[in-house]
């Protein structure tokens, strides 16, 4: 069934009610009206890169992209943790040839080394999924002195995208997907936030750092889509709902216990990312924020939409911190 005014209304009600929409209930309901799956061979002969591929949603995205025919580069901090995912791909999709590669996306040296290796292996990259995610209860700094959530979710992915830009441009309507979180709705991108990107001023909390950096992903993805317009690269952000993964269990143990029966499977959490990478509908526009195959508002109320000057502060900081001058 195609989306009608009624199904759009129902979908929006699910969204606003949060729990039904974010859980597996929302996933099941929306399947009845959401857009078609990508063509079965949408990524045949193409390369796709998935960070945070060793676990949870990233592992499921990797399998989903391999099913569409992609050579998937499964990326994480440990080859040992990535190998079982590559084995699963080979087992489930015998024609697939996944490539395991290590990269700590929070460490710029590691990102640069990975981009160089990848650049030597492929002429073009059709899909880049920034899925790696983390939550630390204490304020931690990376090798280059950046707050961990900011570096993992924003700065590292920003740098990686810029380093792979030529390879993305060489593909056919390449996709860059930023895996954000519904938690970002709790942290509008205010001027105060823009002035304290490294979370030095306010009292640190892991969940706040996570939500702030997930908000920044949405802002940066939008700006990147504008900068890359005309380069045949489509940049989107999304949230997967509530998904039963090791990361979710570790980050929110009590909430996981409470919601266990209605949490999504990793495959359900991965669905929209795979769809965005393979579906022509993801190229109708760029810079949108998605959930369950539909573009969503990025704030609860329009007054929470960030100011252009604050957005620019974030963009300039990404460039300065990573030493990149985007063309």
Catalytic residues: 210
Largest separation between any pair of C-alpha atoms in the chain: 52
Under 8 Å between Cβ of 66 and 89 = yes
Label the pairing between strands 289-291 and 233-238.
parallel
Q: Sketch the per residue contact string, 62 through 91, with ligand NAP: x for CB under 6 A, - otherwise.
A: --------------xxx--x----------
Name the one range near ligand NAP by CB under 6 A: 28-36, 53-61, 158-166, 312-320. 53-61
Q: Which residues contact 249 (CB under 8 A, 6 or more apart)?
A: 256
**Among all chains, which residue has been given the structure tokens 């795979």?**
274
132 lies in the site for ligand NAP, by CB under 6 A: yes
Q: Which two tokens stand for residue 34?
A: 């959401």
Instruction: Map residue 294 onto helix, strand or coil.
Output: strand
Figure out which of the listed residues 54, 62, 298, 322 binds ligand NAP, where binding follows CB under 6 A.
Answer: 54
Q: Sketch the per residue contact string, 222 through 251, with ligand NAP: x for CB under 6 A, - otherwise.
A: -----------------xx-xx-xxxx---
Residue number with CB closer to ligand NAP (6 or 143):
143
Residue number with CB closer to ligand NAP (64 or 240):
240
What is the C-alpha separation between 116 and 109, in angstroms, rounded? Answer: 11
Figure out which of the listed residues 134, 268, 286, 298 binds ligand NAP, where binding follows CB under 6 A.
Answer: 134
Figure out which of the listed residues 64, 69, 133, 157 binds ligand NAP, where binding follows CB under 6 A.
Answer: 133
50 lies in the site for ligand NAP, by CB under 6 A: no
Size of residue set near ligand NAP by CB under 6 A: 31
159 lies in the site for ligand NAP, by CB under 6 A: no
Report the nearest approach of ligand NAP to the CB of residue 27 (Å). 12
Name the one range near ligand NAP by CB under 6 A: 5-13, 66-74, 125-133, 222-230. 125-133
What is the C-alpha separation between 322 and 212, in angstroms, rounded? Answer: 19
55 lies in the site for ligand NAP, by CB under 6 A: yes
Considering only residues 256 through 295, tell me which ones interact with ligand NAP, judged by CB under 6 A: none
Select from 181, 162, 56 the least CA-distant residue to 112: 162
Figure out which of the listed residues 14, 42, 57, 209 binds ligand NAP, where binding follows CB under 6 A.
Answer: 57
Report the nearest approach of ligand NAP to the CB of residue 152 (Å). 5
Under 8 Å between Cβ of 212 and 90 = no
Whole-angstrom CA distances from 93 to 74, 276, 287 are 15, 21, 32
Label the pairing between strands 289-291 and 294-296.
antiparallel
104 lies in the site for ligand NAP, by CB under 6 A: yes
Residue number with CB closer to ligand NAP (164 or 280):
164
Residue number with CB closer to ligand NAP (54 or 225):
54
Q: What is the dihedral of CA 290, 292, 293, 299, to 10 degrees?
A: -20
Report the nearest approach of ligand NAP to the CB of residue 303 (Å). 24
Figure out which of the listed residues 26, 58, 69, 278 binds ligand NAP, where binding follows CB under 6 A.
Answer: 58
Residue number with CB closer to ligand NAP (84 or 280):
84
Task: Return phi, psi of residue 75, to 5°.
Answer: -125, 135
Instruction: Locate all alpha helices (DSSP H) within the chain, ordered by sequence.
Output: 5-16, 19-22, 24-30, 56-67, 79-92, 108-121, 148-150, 156-163, 165-169, 191-195, 206-227, 246-251, 253-259, 266-278, 308-322
Cβ neighbours, 10 Å, residue 28? 11
**Contacting positions for ligand NAP (CB under 6 A):** 51-58, 76-78, 81, 103-106, 131-134, 152, 179, 181, 239-240, 242-243, 245-248
């Amino acid at each position: 069934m195609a989306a009608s005014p009624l199904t759009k209304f129902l979908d929006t009600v699910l969204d606003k009610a949060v729990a039904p929409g974010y859980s597996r209930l929302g996933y099941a309901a929306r399947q009845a009206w959401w857009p078609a799956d990508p063509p079965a061979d949408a990524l045949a002969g193409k390369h796709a890169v998935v960070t945070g591929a060793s676990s949870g949603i990233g592992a499921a995205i990797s399998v989903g992209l391999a099913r569409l025919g992609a050579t998937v580069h499964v990326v994480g901090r440990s080859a040992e943790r990535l190998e079982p995912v590559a084995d699963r791909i080979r087992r489930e999709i015998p024609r697939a040839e996944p490539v395991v590669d290590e990269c700590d996306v929070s460490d710029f040296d590691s990102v640069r080394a990975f981009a160089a290796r990848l650049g030597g292996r492929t002429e073009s990259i059709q899909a880049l999924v920034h899925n790696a995610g983390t939550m630390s209860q204490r304020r931690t700094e990376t090798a280059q002195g950046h707050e961990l959530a900011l570096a993992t979710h924003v700065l590292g992915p920003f740098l990686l995208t810029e380093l792979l830009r030529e390879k993305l441009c060489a593909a056919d309507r390449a996709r860059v997907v930023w895996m954000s979180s519904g938690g970002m709705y709790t942290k509008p991108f205010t001027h105060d936030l823009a002035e304290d990107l490294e979370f030095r001023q306010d009292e640190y909390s892991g969940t706040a750092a996570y939500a702030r950096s997930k908000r920044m992903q949405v802002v940066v993805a939008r700006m990147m889509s504008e900068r890359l317009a005309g380069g045949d690269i489509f940049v989107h952000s999304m949230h997967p709902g509530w998904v039963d993964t090791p990361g979710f269990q570790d980050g929110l143990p009590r909430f996981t216990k409470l919601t266990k029966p209605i949490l999504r499977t990793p495959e359900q959490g991965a669905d929209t990312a795979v769809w965005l990478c393979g579906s022509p509908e993801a190229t109708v526009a760029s810079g949108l924020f998605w959930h369950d195959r539909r573009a969503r508002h990025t704030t609860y109320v329009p007054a929470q939409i960030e100011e252009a000057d604050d957005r620019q502060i974030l963009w300039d900081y990404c460039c300065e911190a990573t030493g990149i001058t985007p063309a």
